[in-house]
Structure 1
Amino acid sequence: MSKKHKRSVLSAVVSATLSRRLLATLPALALISGNALAVVEQFSLQGNTLYIDTDTNDFTLTALGNKSFQVTYVTDNSGKPYENLSSMALPEHVAANELTVDVSDTPNTITLTYDNASASIDKQSHAISYSLNGEVVTKERDGLSINSHGVSLSFALSDDEKLYGGGQRVLGMDRRGNAMPLYNKAHYGYTTSSNQMYFGLSAVMSSKHYSVLFDNTASGELDMGSSTPDELLFSAKGGRASYIMVLGESLSDTVKSTVAITGKQPLPPRWLLGNFASRFGYKSQDEVMNVVDAFNKQDIPVDAVVLDLYWFGKDIKGHMGNLSWDTATFPEPEKMISELREQDVKTVLITEPFILTTSKQWDSAVENNALAQNDQGTPYTFDFYFGNTGLVDVFSEAGQDWFWQYYEKLAAQGVAGWWGDLGEPEVHPDDIQHAWSEAGLGNQTVSGTEVHNGYGHQWAKTVYNNLTELQSDTRPFVLMRSGFLGSQRYGMVPWTGDVSRSWGGLKPQVELALQMSVFGLAYTHSDLGGFAGGDTFDAELYTRWLQFGTFSPVFRPHAQDNIAPEPVFHDDPVKSIAREFIQLRYDMLPYNYSLAFENALFGTPLMRPLAMVFNENKWFESAKSYMWGDALFVSPVTQPNQQTWAVELPPGIWFDFFSSAKYQGGKTVDYPLTQDNFPVWVKAGSFMPMSEGLSRTEHFDARELEMHYWHDHSVISSSYTYYEDDGKSPNSVEKGLYTTLQLNASVDESADLTLTLDSQGSYIGMPQQRNITYVVHGLTERPQKVLVDGAPAPATWSEKGKTLSLAFTCDYQQSVEIVIM
């Protein structure tokens, strides 16, 4: 193709992209030695995007905001327009309109700069280097390329670089030196090693404070310096030729910017933070009611019951795709759901994207063109564990509309939450054909290979978007085990799949959750107690897993029912310990819900790698412990028969959450274990809002709050922000319909402790007054005097616990100052 023809092609593509707006063309045709023309021949700027015309691939470089850039190919190596799918990693509308960008042109480079972040394109090699505050952070090695095998992306790695990435894998926190498939695939019964699992991510985050997001959903591979030690290589069998580079000032900043670019998780319903009754599975309406009744009678809080596949068929095989109640075993589902709702218990149903040829809906799916097809244009059928099946085409409008009608009917019956299973998809032939119908791109056919890793993402998007339209006053709950970069913006709550019911299954759960959380999937959690196998009940394993779950994003024991996953079916002391920890989970609801608010506002994970908070180089590889919010350091017990648990505490003063014993950090301590305690410490200077005695999250009363503070004289000042809204309105964050309580602590030269409380913001239904009880831990002796707003106030001293309790009532707009002398 001639350059003149190629430029006209580029012009046509750009014109379509820019809605026919005029390009602002910058000086071009830079020269290299002699009179030879440089390989970057022309470039132009429109808004935040540079359009680069080269002698091979033409591409765009866009400033996205949040110190991030996007690179996308416009043409292939021959100069023809590149057949491209739309981005899944990025929201449909990236808000970067307010950026002030600058372009500088030298004989060798073109540089796009904004907010101290820059991307410099070498005119001869096309290689891009990325800088922050004038320092090069990372650079392409072979860069982005298209060839007969597909799409690849190559970056240079420095010698001392450590890497998170790849999503769900059990490889250790620093994954450098590993190569792994980019192909979402079930790993049934995994334990302490797995290179391929349910929810992979084509993304890497570096200890040098950048992340690379390969925006490609096709089957491929991620090589983090395994084949070539100094090369990071993504490859895919076709699909989109695009990536996003995110730069950060620190690891914490990189995490927040990465989530800001791919989309923050909407604030979930408050009941997500409660206890779920779940198993594989409840086989009848009576069984569902009886298990909830058991929770009630045994005084164990519960907020939701999850129905696995028996709700639509009496057997495991042969019924998938029925998408309607088996009335032989669930004769009055609406009555059941209503009676549960009257008890403030939500109903969650499983659905799968496979429509068996033996199911009730097969003919309807075929007639409505809802299924992915073969080369002959008929439904593609294949055998898998559950039977002979077709696959819903979640990429086509016909498939989406047909599938959605069943969700709509079930929602009308009162179903409150949705569980999407097998969404890798578990079986997905490479040559199956999907009808991609994205806005602005028209209709095109894509293979299973090209969109495999985006299937669960697209499914979640369909469910979430339709639910928000159908139930505009409700926050959707979407539990799914597979997706893609950015799936969190559709409310996706992932879990770590069919983990072995063993100590080996428990051990990697911190790693799995943290690796997902830093890329935005902050509600990643495990089937508490383990799911797969197990011949006999291991009481210690079960207890330790549920204790860990107390400090996890979602508390959902779930397992094959040869051993009951619900604590109500076990004897003491297992049941009594579980009851105490589940009650603690509910008591911590104000603290946990504030973590959810922080995530929705800032993208901050609930479970946080220690490297986000403390010395990054030292803690980058740590998968034994994590922070639960800012206050709690958690180190799950993952081995049986331990009398003590060796834990390296970060520097500072730490309090045992259960005994209040004080520990000096910066060294390894041996935590004394009993069956009913757990290694959790509170950082000195931390606040924790609590609400005691809840049996449902719906029973939370914002008028009654306990504010716990852990005091040590080494902490001169500290602060904390508590977030609160009505727990269910979908627009709380967007419309600012929430309140904050700003809590501060300071110690003066006389060692007097001053605590202040200030309130801002409001929401509909907010209490006009609050009854607040401050509980101060860590005091060495009874205070001489306590003042509230300058006046002496009565306080209760516990000599045993060395705690001071002070209760008062205040207006929701009132500022309060407490001085403890």
Structure 2
Amino acid sequence: MKTKFIGAIILLFFSARSFAQDFQRTKFGVKANTQSIDIEVQFYSATIVRIIKLPEGGLLKQESLSVIKEPETTALTVNEKNNTVYLKSTALQVALDLKTGRVSFSDAGDNPLFTEKDYGTQFTVVNDAGKISSSVRQAFLLDKDEVIYGLGQQQNGKLNQRGQKVYLRQENMKVGIPFFQSIKGYGVFWDNYSPTTFNDNIQETSFDSEIGNCADYYYMYGKNPDGVVACMRDLTGQTPMMPLWVYGFNQSRERYKTQFELVNVVKKYRELKIPLDGIVQDWQYWGKDDNWNAMGFEATTYPRPQSMVDSVHKLNAHLFIVSWPGFAPKTKQYQEFKAKNMLINFDTWPPGANTRPYDVYNPSARDIYWNYLNKGIFSLGTDAWWLDSTEPDHINVKDDDFNQPTYLGSYRSVENAFPLQHTRGVYEHQRQTSQDKRVILLTRSAFAGQQRYGSNTWSGDVGSNWPTLKRQIPAAVNFSLTGLPYWNGDIGGFFAGSFVKGGGAKNPDFQELYVRWMQFATFTPMMRSHGTDIPREIYQFGKPGDWAFDVQEKFINLRYSLLPYLYSTARNVTHGSGSFIRALSSEFNTDKQGFENNSEYLFGRSFLVAPVTDKGTKSWPVYLPSGATWYDFWTGESIAGGKTVDRTTSLDIIPVYVKAGSIVPWGPKVQYATEKKWDNLQIRIYPGADGDFTLYEDENDNYNYESGKYTEIIFHWNNESSTLTISKKKGGFTGSLSNRKFNIVLVNKMKGTGEKLSKKVDRIVNYKGEAVSVKM
């Protein structure tokens, strides 16, 4: 009887074991198989986890195009209970259900953050350009009222992307990036380059990609929006510094038709004493469309291109040159790419020219592209690139176009990474060619990781109207929350044809729209005027004394006053994974009133900006987040946060507020960014809270900062003791200042307000590089 009982126990034990699920420890996590799906959990750090799922026995896809981080050895505890494996780092706990394959995430205190659905991974066999492949779908569950941001740049006018169905494919005016972050402090990057549908509804949240042999995503826990962005940069690459001059004012037009016209625009700005740093040469400098993108200057209209470049430089300005990814058959580039089977065979811009894009995914093709670009353009000493049509433009679309082969597979399988690979080629080759000029790539599209290539993405060929202007704000904020810090837009919108009959730049309705758009652009990472139909140079709007001229002059000068603040913020972007454009929740993540605010944003760490986006308005509502005191930038009035104020908004005012505790350096009046050294800076202190600011300087336009050639001076304001402490200068570089003045202003209604330098100062500090404390 006893023997039978023991035998029954043994049988029961082995029966139970036969139903248990197995997993294996790996160097960075665990592997398991369930529901005929191979699953791997990899910790890349204590806060970043990669989840990989693929059909049983399948092969993992090729190396990521976006992710450059290698997994770190991370201290983990791993245990299994009730068919669930738990992996815990110092910051996160991941649970893998061995029955359903569900992966869920909690913080270190076991508070739930995010979860997949049970059986939430689906693979469907598809034909990918004649090869058997899969589409892949992954479903998740979010909290009912959870707010999420991201998805690149969408023109839906919404900040919160809940309840949205978005087809993520690169297009003019739309940047598709399969990434979102939650107000709960986490982010998710779905690492797939094929067109992908993001869908959020009451049942689930999902990514559904047209091609994907595996489900591959990264979960990152940053605790707040800034922290999530920092994780995304850690994963996909940090952002290089851009030169000081690019933060000034940049003028463009579709298009300057001769080298003389372009140079004369710069001369006119200098004559008017309106600051200017960049001028853009748009398309067709190469001649007619049958010579599209020849990367050389047509001899009749640009007879002496070297003289053009030199003339711009003698006027202390810089020259952007446009370059496209497509080539017309007449060009040498087209012929070489075709001979080497390096064209993607579909129609791209312009219509009727039989233009084809080159295979940006092929490193040898990227070599060829740069060889022509360098020989025809960069060798002349040009300064920056306008990389247009980086989606690329796709016209006369046929379904078979997406089956076209590329170096990395079908075009459909890698389509969304086109801008990433195109910018990679130009950035890497220019870095190899010269260390004297920082790479600047003005691009019309982007993908995850593109920040590491000196990319500044503009919002595309948007229309000139008020609803479009309004949509630019959440588009910019969501783009920044995706992890890419550099964004800009055409001041006034691109297509302005509806205003031509009313007088063009003299049309009062267009003037109002343009001025309001410029005010917004003053507080973005790049201030740039561009558009078609109506020339946008300041003198097109009138002359000094005309309101539309004077308001533009005011805001261009304001932009230059902000240069020390902007450049120091840029250093924080590069060295601290910071952002220029920040959601209110980035800093005030317990104030729910700011979570879905799509009409204002934080600019760096000090400013709150609320652009006017309605015609004819006399006042504008501004929500001031709780937890801070705010100063009206124009008047010096201090206001407690946690309330909405109605700000009077004459045509020369945009509502701007500065957070108490801010320290803002105010630059000198100049005609171009490097005209004067910062040896006599006004330092504005907004009392009411402690504050810090790091003033950053370097050689302005080379990569010597990467080897430590820069200086930092840290300012600390102790509000209780009313003491400003200035640190010892850290570092050095050729030409760095040994002696300087800091003119300290405690901001109130009587001083330190508006765009002009304050005539009243509280203290003057003669700074010689040593630490000093000043009692105010």
Distance 1:298 1:33 in 2: 89
Distance 2:670 2:356 in 1: 45
Query: Match for residue 42 of structure 2?
Result: 62
Structure 1 residue 294 displacement after superposition: 0.8
- 1:265 equivalent to 2:251? Answer no
Query: Match for residue 577 of structure 1?
Result: 551
Query: Match for residue 763 of structure 1?
Result: 732
Query: Match for residue 516 of structure 1?
Result: 479
Query: Match for residue 390 of structure 1?
Result: 356
Query: Match for residue 34 of structure 1?
Result: 16
Asked if structure 2 preserves the Cα contact closer than 8 Å seen for 1:66 and 1:261, the reply is no
- 1:494 equivalent to 2:457? Answer yes
Structure 1 residue 261 displacement after superposition: 1.9
Q: 1:236-275 CA deviation, whole Å, 9 max, x = no partner?
A: 1113631111113223322322232222211112122011
Which amino acid is the alignment partner of residue 569 of structure 1?
Q
Query: Match for residue 654 of structure 1?
Result: 630
Distance 2:80 2:676 in 1: 60
Distance 1:559 1:32 in 2: 74
Which of the residues 393, 396, 404 maps onto 2:370?
404
Q: 1:659-706 CA deviation, whole Å, 9 max, x = no partner?
A: 223334322222112222221112222110121112111224133322
Distance 1:267 1:616 in 2: 33
- Equivalent residues in 2 for 1:633-672, closer than 5 Å: 633-651=608-626, 652-672=628-648
Distance 1:392 1:692 in 2: 46
Query: Match for residue 152 of structure 2?
Result: 167
- 1:753 equivalent to 2:732? Answer no
Query: Match for residue 302 of structure 1?
Result: 276
Structure 1 residue 107 displacement after superposition: 4.6
Distance 2:518 2:768 in 1: 38
Gap change, CA 1:102 and 1:723, over 3 Å in 2: farther
Structure 1 residue 326 displacement after superposition: 1.2
Query: Match for residue 44 of structure 1?
Result: 25
Query: Match for residue 90 of structure 2?
Result: 115
Which amino acid is the alignment partner of residue 450 of structure 1?
S
Q: Which moved more, 1:254-263 or 1:322-331?
A: 254-263
Q: 1:594-616 CA deviation, whole Å, 9 max, x = no partner?
A: 11111112222101111111234
- 1:80 equivalent to 2:96? Answer no
Query: Match for residue 777 of structure 1?
Result: 747
Distance 1:240 1:616 in 2: 41
Which amino acid is the alignment partner of residue 625 of structure 1?
E
Query: Match for residue 694 of structure 1?
Result: 670
Q: 1:779-805 CA deviation, whole Å, 9 max, x = no partner?
A: 7899xxxxxxxxxxxxxxxxx989534
Q: Give identity over the alignment, percent.
A: 27
Q: Which moved more, 1:250-259 or 1:320-329?
A: 250-259
| Runs of 4+, deviation exceeding 6 Å | 779-782
Structure 1 residue 112 displacement after superposition: 2.7
- Helix, strand or coil at the partner of 1:804: coil
Which amino acid is the alignment partner of residue 155 of structure 2?
V
Gap change, CA 1:36 and 1:754, over 3 Å in 2: same
Distance 2:46 2:576 in 1: 12
TM-score of the superposed pair, with normalisation by structure 2:
0.89
Query: Match for residue 807 of structure 1?
Result: 764
Q: 1:380-400 CA deviation, whole Å, 9 max, x = no partner?
A: 567862521222001113321
Asked if structure 1 preserves the Cα contact closer than 8 Å seen for 2:636 and 2:749, the reply is no
Q: Could you say which structure has the higher helix fraction? A: 2
Q: 1:547-583 CA deviation, whole Å, 9 max, x = no partner?
A: 11111110001000x3112213221221121111111
Query: Match for residue 681 of structure 1?
Result: 657
Distance 2:617 2:210 in 1: 48
Query: Match for residue 564 of structure 1?
Result: 535
Query: Match for residue 253 of structure 1?
Result: 227
- 1:426 equivalent to 2:393? Answer yes
Asked if structure 1 preserves the Cα contact closer than 8 Å seen for 2:46 and 2:91, the reply is no
Which of the residues 111, 127, 130 maps onto 1:135?
111
Query: Match for residue 236 of structure 1?
Result: 209
Which amino acid is the alignment partner of residue 647 of structure 2?
Y
Q: 1:762-783 CA deviation, whole Å, 9 max, x = no partner?
A: 131221222221122127899x
Distance 2:168 2:521 in 1: 29
Which of the residues 449, 456, 473 maps onto 2:436?
473
- 1:147 equivalent to 2:124? Answer yes
Distance 1:781 1:514 in 2: 32
- Equivalent residues in 2 for 1:555-634, closer than 5 Å: 555-560=527-532, 562-571=533-542, 572-614=546-588, 615-634=590-609
Gap change, CA 1:358 and 1:504, over 3 Å in 2: farther
Distance 2:24 2:85 in 1: 9
Q: 1:174-204 CA deviation, whole Å, 9 max, x = no partner?
A: 1111101121122xxxxxxxxxx43111111
Q: Which moved more, 1:277-286 or 1:595-604?
A: 595-604
Structure 2 unaligned runs (5+)? 1-12, 127-134, 500-506
- Helix, strand or coil at the partner of 2:468: helix
Structure 1 residue 55 displacement after superposition: 6.0
Distance 1:698 1:240 in 2: 51
Which of the residues 185, 188, 195 maps onto 2:171?
185
Structure 1 residue 348 displacement after superposition: 0.8
Asked if structure 1 preserves the Cα contact closer than 8 Å seen for 2:344 and 2:406, the reply is no
Which of the residues 429, 447, 452 maps onto 1:484?
447
- 1:417 equivalent to 2:397? Answer no
Asked if structure 2 preserves the Cα contact closer than 8 Å seen for 1:776 and 1:805, the reply is yes
Gap change, CA 1:384 and 1:331, over 3 Å in 2: closer
Query: Match for residue 797 of structure 1?
Result: none
Q: 1:77-134 CA deviation, whole Å, 9 max, x = no partner?
A: 4x2324x23212312xx15435323332335122332222122211111211112122
- Helix, strand or coil at the partner of 1:817: strand
Asked if structure 2 preserves the Cα contact closer than 8 Å seen for 1:86 and 1:240, the reply is no
- 1:527 equivalent to 2:487? Answer no
Query: Match for residue 460 of structure 1?
Result: 423
Structure 1 unaligned runs (5+)? 1-30, 187-196, 374-379, 438-444, 783-799
Which of the residues 704, 722, 746 maps onto 2:695?
722
- Helix, strand or coil at the partner of 2:245: helix
Gap change, CA 1:359 and 1:667, over 3 Å in 2: same
Distance 2:14 2:96 in 1: 15
- Helix, strand or coil at the partner of 2:268: helix
Q: Over aligned residues, Cα RMSD in angstroms?
A: 2.4
Count of residue pairs brought into register by the alignment: 729
Structure 1 residue 816 displacement after superposition: 1.4
- Helix, strand or coil at the partner of 2:368: helix
Gap change, CA 1:736 and 1:264, over 3 Å in 2: same
Gap change, CA 1:395 and 1:722, over 3 Å in 2: same
- 1:90 equivalent to 2:71? Answer no
- Helix, strand or coil at the partner of 1:698: coil
Gap change, CA 1:481 and 1:616, over 3 Å in 2: farther
Distance 1:345 1:577 in 2: 23
Structure 1 residue 806 displacement after superposition: 2.3
Asked if structure 2 preserves the Cα contact closer than 8 Å seen for 1:282 and 1:310, the reply is no
Which amino acid is the alignment partner of residue 192 of structure 2?
N
Distance 1:164 1:337 in 2: 42
Distance 2:568 2:58 in 1: 51
Q: Which moved more, 1:415-424 or 1:658-667?
A: 658-667
Asked if structure 2 preserves the Cα contact closer than 8 Å seen for 1:431 and 1:448, the reply is no
Q: Which moved more, 1:203-212 or 1:612-621?
A: 612-621
- Equivalent residues in 2 for 1:314-393, closer than 5 Å: 315=288, 317-359=289-331, 361-372=333-344, 385=351, 387-393=353-359
Gap change, CA 1:165 and 1:176, over 3 Å in 2: same
Structure 1 residue 60 displacement after superposition: 2.6
Gap change, CA 1:306 and 1:332, over 3 Å in 2: same
Which amino acid is the alignment partner of residue 68 of structure 1?
I
- Helix, strand or coil at the partner of 1:452: helix
Distance 1:393 1:776 in 2: 57
- Helix, strand or coil at the partner of 2:354: strand
Structure 1 residue 364 displacement after superposition: 2.8
Which amino acid is the alignment partner of residue 745 of structure 1?
W
Gap change, CA 1:781 and 1:235, over 3 Å in 2: closer
